Amino acid sequence: MAWLESLEIRVPVDELALEFEDGHLLLPQWVEAGWLPPDAVPAFSALDEALTAMSGAEHAELWTVAALLEAPEWARVRELAAKVFHLL
């Protein structure tokens, strides 16, 4: 929420996943450059899989501010993100 609110323009909640996806695509290069430890890759992949499972029109209700705060799917995303953070 803080990141979304910090932007000068109003963006939808799905921007969180889009930003993560952009970085996730570069993961192999970041590991190769020594910017990320190789043992963090599975945690990043688990987070990516959780976000992918939430995507699509059939899950549109998950991409609202209310869902971001209350949905168990987002609680799982935060849990996985915390694991990634601790590996860094």
pLDDT at 59 over 70: yes
* Nearest-angstrom CA–CA distance, 14 and 25: 17
Spatial neighbors of 61 by CB under 8 A, at least 6 apart, are 67
Structural contact between residues 62 and 35, judged by C-beta atoms closer than 8 angstroms: no
pTM tops 0.85: no
pLDDT at 43 over 70: yes
Alpha helices by DSSP H, listed for the chain, are 2-6, 15-25, 27-32, 41-53, 65-70, 72-87
Averaged over 58-73, what is the pLDDT? 89
pLDDT at 21 over 70: yes
Rg of the chain in Å (alpha carbons) = 14
pLDDT averaged over every residue in the chain? 85
pLDDT at 66 over 70: yes
The pLDDT score that the predictor gives to residue 19 is 80
Amino acid at 71: A
Which two three-digit tokens encode residue 42? Answer: 């599975």
pLDDT at 24 over 60: yes
